[in-house]
Amino acid sequence: MKIAYYSVTRQVSRFVKKLTLTDDQAVEVTDTLTLSEPFILIIPTYEKEILQEVWDFMVENASNCQGIIASGNRNFAELYIYSAKDLSAEFNVPILYDFEFNGTNEDVTAVNSILESY
């Protein structure tokens, strides 16, 4: 399964590097990236303006998105992973998993299992 990810502070990037992926499985999202194959999106939680590249990417690629995995901070209570919730609602894509910051070993194991199931 292809992974498209976006990282602002590099926490998501650090998480992606922990996953069991081949070199060509993970691509960083840009507003010009086009994926013609199924993928899972991994994103942090920020205001829409900061994630505008992700929104632009999803306008063109949402039909191939199998799900979203989100990084967030539980200290923000109801705002936890709100970016993923907004994208999920806008593009009708399920949230498959969420984790805090750059994830724990348990999060890595869980996401690897999700990837194996696709």
**Hey, where are the domains in the chain?**
2-117
Rounded-to-integer distance, Cα 42 and Cα 15, Å:
9
- List the beta bridge partners of residue 2: 39
What is the Cα–Cα distance from 81 to 64, expressed in whole angstroms?
Answer: 21
Query: What architecture (CATH level 2) is domain 2-117?
Result: 3-Layer(aba) Sandwich (3.40)
Q: Do 9 and 44 touch, CB atoms closer than 8 A?
A: yes
CA distances (Å), 50 to each of 6, 56, 60, 61, in order? 11, 12, 18, 19
% of residues, the chain, pLDDT over 70: 100
Neighbours of 5 (CB within 10 A): 22
| 27-83 confidence digits (pLDDT tens) | 999 989 999 999 999 999 999 999 999 999 999 999 999 999 999 998 888 889 999
76: its two tokens: 């923000």
